[in-house]
Amino acid sequence: MLAKKTVILISCIALSVGAFATSETTPEKAAASGSKAASADFRKDYHRPAEIPYPEDNQFSEAKANLGKMLFFDPRLSKENNISCGSCHNPSFSWEDAQATSVGTPMTRLGRHTPTILNLAWGEVYFWDGRAESMEEQALGPIGAGGEMAQDMEELLIELKEISYYTGAFEEAFPGEGLNRANIGKAIATYERTVVSSIAPFDRWVEGEGGAISDAAKRGFTLFNTKAKCSSCHEGWNFTDWGFHDVGIPGNDEGRYGVIKIDVLKHAFKTPGLRNIVERAPYMHDGSLTTLAQVVDHYDGGFVKRPSLSADIVPLGLSADEKADLVAFLETLSSNDTPVTYPKLPQ
């Protein structure tokens, strides 16, 4: 079971960088794409939350977040001391790495695209296949994974205990517990939860600023919620249902099926959120699509048909203008986040 969560106001976090939605509006009522009535009906489902959730067993503290940030950018967490969490989750690329698939510490190419950590505080399960049930588990996973950071945890603990900053910082963040495996995961997860996208033009429009986005983007938003069927999976303020779907990407990777042996989950991957999506190319779990236009073309009818394909993935019959409007809408989801300062690592 996931830990019950409590919350803290976003505005109180110094490090911040920034159930399925429902609607009584039918596609028939929204047929007049971009109409004020249709937009208003859909916009109510996309208001940003006021708080960041934290689990009861890992409440926020500034000491934890500061420590987690230092660990996140410290390459000593990898076996070869050459990559950090931030190597793949690079803030310059909206916490991805701009490569089709990731590279591990032995400089080996991995099989999946790096997912962003942006807005993961609201997540339910983690990694493309959902194999981690908490952010704390997710934070530790790559450190010990052979193809990723490949670090021996016992050796890492010895190495970190030889650095006076870390022994003191762990004691401050976790009084009476200090430096151990679980607290490494808790510190990194605490920092990752502060990685939140800032206000985007779309948010200003949702709150009533009519000119915040273009007419094309407004039409795209209505399409997103009706004919294009995007909101079937990309719902709510972060544009994800946190579920798993086979969206018809070619390949042999069976995704969620590798964790839960249910046929419908073959080739199913977690729905990514769409915040700052322009900055996160390439796309999909394998990084096979390089532009948002290609992504729209894929969903319009370029998908692979197979038994596990999601029932929501059907030919859409979108016109060239409708595709352009969808991309225009997606571009409004990018926010001007506060630049991340890299910490000076302790010796």
Which positions are annotated as active-site residues?
Answer: 148
Q: Is 262 helix (H, G, I), strand (E, B) or coil?
A: coil
Neighbours of 154 (CB within 10 A): 9
d(CA 287, CA 97): 11
Residue 344 backbone dihedrals phi, psi, to 5 degrees: -80, 115
Nearest alpha carbon to residue 224 among 201, 232, 25:
232
Tokens in use for 12? Answer: 């109180």
Say which residues have a Cβ less than 8 Å from residue 210's Cβ, sequence separation at least 6.
Answer: none
Tokens in use for 210? Answer: 């009519």
Q: Is the peptide bond before 282 cis (omega within 30 degrees of 0)?
A: yes
d(CA 281, CA 296): 14
d(CA 341, CA 231): 35
d(CA 45, CA 326): 18
d(CA 59, CA 7): 8
d(CA 24, CA 37): 12
Report whether 245 contacts 61 (CB < 8 A): no
**Count of residues making up the chain:** 347
Report whether 245 contacts 310 (CB < 8 A): yes
Report whether 267 contacts 308 (CB < 8 A): yes
Dihedral angle computed from the Cα positions of residues 57, 61, 66 and 70, in that order, rounded to the nearest 10 degrees: -10
